Amino acid sequence: GAVVSQHPSWVICKSGTSVKIECRSLDFQATTMFWYRQFPKQSLMLMATSNEGSKATYEQGVEKDKFLINHASLTLSTLTVTSAHPEDSSFYICSAEGGTTSGRELFFGEGSRLTVL
């Protein structure tokens, strides 16, 4: 089946620094990718929809200047957490729509755990 890969899987950084997370569709092209955030023992929260070649669509309450999304190619979307602070520590998950023999479905990356000290 289709595979979505995230990198890094775990990152620890100092407060005030920026961190980039990559989301790649390995064997299919994805014009649309989605970024989610998950706090411990909580559900997923959709942060933004990443559209190839255009600006991302952010959900209400998500700071677009804080969470920069770039979808430069059909196989890569990046999320940059700028000037990270401890409250940004979370599990970030991307997903992409891909086709299978059963039809189209949503595939998820392995997730990236961000810890800001």
Partner 1 sequence: ELKVEQNPLFLSMQEGKNYTIYCNYSTTSDRLYWYRQDPGKSLESLFVLLSNGAVKQEGRLMASLDTKARLSTLHITAAVHDLSATYFCAVGSNYQLIWGAGTKLIIKP
Task: Write out the residues near partner 1 by the rule CB under 8 A.
Answer: 6, 32, 34, 41-46, 49, 93, 95, 97, 105-111, 113
Q: 2 burial class (0-12, 13-18, 19+ CB within 10 angstroms)?
A: middle
- Compute the distance between CA of residue 109 and CA of residue 92 in angstroms, rounded to an integer: 9
| Shortest distance, position 106 Cβ to partner 1, whole Å | 5
C-alpha–C-alpha distance, residues 28 and 99, integer Å: 8
Nearest-approach distance from CB 19 to partner 1, in angstroms: 18
- CB closer to partner 1, 78 vs 95: 95
Nearer to partner 1, 68 or 111 (CB): 111
Compare residues 18 and 100 and give the one whose CB is closer to partner 1: 100
- Phi and psi (nearest 5°) for 15? -60, 135
